[in-house]
A and B are shown apart, each in its own frame.
Chain A
């Protein structure tokens, strides 16, 4: 769980959609920070084992924060929030493994 640090006050805010639900955030925040602040901790499921992941490094190195932003697979920690942007989880992509 995350909260605003003591003394941090928010003047303006932007609103974007995550999985079709509105989320409000401070301009300048990354999508990853905004989602964490909104209590979203699971960002995606891994393509290998469908296990849950969230941001790990926050500096663009680990790729565990991948989300879809307006149809593109991007790092949430490297993408700034914009008013009205559409964010969603990356669809689970494994083909059902045939036997």
Chain B
């Protein structure tokens, strides 16, 4: 039997690329898998193919990713693009599909760097055509160079400001930015301000963004409530209350955002331990400082382990890779620790701003636990009220909820309703989020064809690194 890869990295964002590069640097055989057509993850998406217009709009932070991607190209890392990982086995086997053909490889250690997804933002009308996430609008800029002509941004958090400013500089200033955070949130957050000053550069950047939005004359509303998206089939209007008045703004593009949360589909599917993080209002896998999970074959790096942003992700990737190459005996523990020490230190100062951001831009209660008639499961069109009714009938957890009314059983496999279902059930049944738990996730992690699945039937020799 041939040797498998030493390290398989899933996800080619800042965390995954730097993990792959670091492991490669120490002489490990590395295979890096990503669903996108090119490296960069969500933040540096499509960076290697960017046009000059896009680069101007997206700013220097975006270009930083370009260097990483070039380093990757020069390295010995086996980089497979356009592959969807749909099964990760306890033994380190990874099954994926590329263009409808399935393959399986095996790693001695697996680094999961699959990043974040945007937090579900259920509010009335959020399923209508023309409502999309702020991140989606940004992806359209990065990968297609197109912008919504009359966007209204709704929600809270740094990405809301970033995209608003990017739309301004792309010549498509949004019609309004409707923010849900309140003065009280901001005041409460100030107690985190002193530690956050270590991250003053990021704070300053945020203030610059807000100034640029204001300069462009884009109206901002804060502490907005009762937000609803209207339109027959397509979005034509957004309504909300702010400053003691009701407002209505015409738009065909309602862009939603309430921060990002770790994508836990893979980590759940392997049965790794997860905990609920009350500050970030989401679950994340339990890891040690090196990103090692509750199963020694798997590490998690980047936003998938807990939201920290791109710089933190890149540092975590390196740290996880050091630990991984040490685990499989390529470098001794001593070297791993000496090398990791400065990275760990740098990471903690990068993380200093987090508690402030988490407190200043919390998801509002009616996004976490929406009103009864709001759809929360987009696929099966289950409402928040349905979940409350299930709870009153004795439903205690998300997996049981499926048997009551199919939430989480559509093609997105619970990605956009899982957290909300947990939040509502925790509240209705007076249990902790950890006690309520989350959907049980099993492969296939993404829908795959019978043909792809059937191709596993005859076991193939695991592919080798050489």
Chain A interface (Cβ < 8 Å from any Cβ of B): 1-9, 26, 28-30, 33-34, 36-37, 41-43, 46, 48-49, 51-64, 66, 72, 77-78, 80
Inter-chain CA distance A89–B53, complex, in Å, is: 32
Inter-chain CA distance A54–B229, complex, in Å, is: 14
- Check A57 against B170 for contact (C-beta < 8 Å): no
Contacts of B129 in A (CB 8 A): 41-43, 52-54
B233 CB to closest chain A CB (Å) equals 4
- Check A2 against B415 for contact (C-beta < 8 Å): no
Inter-chain CA distance A93–B46, complex, in Å, is: 35
Contacts of B136 in A (CB 8 A): 55-59
- Check B148 against A62 for contact (C-beta < 8 Å): no
Interface residue? B410 (CB, 8 A): yes
- Check A46 against B57 for contact (C-beta < 8 Å): no
- Check B141 against A53 for contact (C-beta < 8 Å): no
Contacts of B139 in A (CB 8 A): 58-59, 77
- Check A59 against B135 for contact (C-beta < 8 Å): yes
Interface residue? B52 (CB, 8 A): yes
- Check B133 against A1 for contact (C-beta < 8 Å): no
- Check B149 against A1 for contact (C-beta < 8 Å): yes
How many inter-chain residue pairs (CB < 8 Å) link A and B?
Answer: 143
- Select B140's contact among A2, A9, A56, A78, beta carbons within 8 Å: A2
Contact flags (1/0) for B110-125 with A, using CB distance below 8 Å? 0000000110000000
- Check A58 against B133 for contact (C-beta < 8 Å): yes
A24 CB to closest chain B CB (Å) equals 13
The size class of the interface chain B forms with chain A is 35 or more
- Check B411 against A66 for contact (C-beta < 8 Å): yes
- Check B143 against A2 for contact (C-beta < 8 Å): no
When C-beta atoms are compared, the residue in chain A nearest to B45 turns out to be A59
When C-beta atoms are compared, the residue in chain B nearest to A25 turns out to be B144
- Select B378's contact among A4, A26, A62, beta carbons within 8 Å: A62
- Select B131's contact among A36, A46, A56, beta carbons within 8 Å: A56
Inter-chain CA distance A60–B412, complex, in Å, is: 9
Contact flags (1/0) for B122-156 with A, using CB distance below 8 Å? 00000111111101110111011111111000000
Inter-chain CA distance A89–B382, complex, in Å, is: 23
Contacts of B428 in A (CB 8 A): none
Inter-chain CA distance A43–B130, complex, in Å, is: 10
- Check A55 against B233 for contact (C-beta < 8 Å): no
- Check A46 against B381 for contact (C-beta < 8 Å): yes
Inter-chain CA distance A80–B136, complex, in Å, is: 16
- Select B53's contact among A2, A5, A60, beta carbons within 8 Å: A5
Among A30, A34, A59, A64, max chain B CB count under 10 A is at A59
Contacts of B133 in A (CB 8 A): 56-58
- Check B127 against A59 for contact (C-beta < 8 Å): no
Inter-chain CA distance A43–B131, complex, in Å, is: 13
18 contacts between A and B (CB under 8 A): A1-B148, A2-B253, A5-B171, A6-B53, A6-B169, A6-B172, A28-B46, A29-B143, A48-B379, A52-B129, A54-B130, A57-B118, A58-B135, A58-B136, A59-B117, A59-B139, A64-B378, A72-B100
